[in-house]
Amino acid sequence: MAIARLPCPVAPCPNRARQKITLGKMRASGVRGALIYCADYQCSHYIRISADQWADDVWLSDLEDKFTCTACGKRGADVRPDVPPARIGSG
């Protein structure tokens, strides 16, 4: 998969509480993809993937240790729902 560089670094807070959402809840809200950010905030590489390969009962936080950045080699990731941008003024 191709890796893209974000226009500005996304720095996850090391003390933040884990977002406890299952893929099933994510899909129920209409989101089918996930954003996988490198765990090294200075690297700032990410990929967009389909989350269809995992079951509904899998937590996003359960996936974080399964990824290794292909750019810097850091193991671990920040996994977030790939929420489409809001449509403003469409009415």
For residues 80 and 19, is the Cβ–Cβ distance under 8 A?
yes
Summarised one tens digit per residue, pLDDT across range 74-88 is: 999 999 999 988 888
| pLDDT greater at residue 52 or residue 13 | 52
pLDDT of residue 15: 46
Can you tell me the mean pLDDT for 31-46?
A: 94
pLDDT of residue 46: 95
| pLDDT greater at residue 18 or residue 44 | 44
Residue 31 and residue 84: Cα distance in Å, rounded? 8
Give the residue among 16, 8, 6, 18 at the shortest CA–CA distance from 79.
18
Summarised one tens digit per residue, pLDDT across range 51-70 is: 999 999 999 999 999 999 99
The answer for residues whose C-beta is within 8 angstroms of residue 67's C-beta and 6 or more apart is 36, 75, 76, 77, 79
Confidence of residue 13 (pLDDT cuts 50, 70, 90): very low
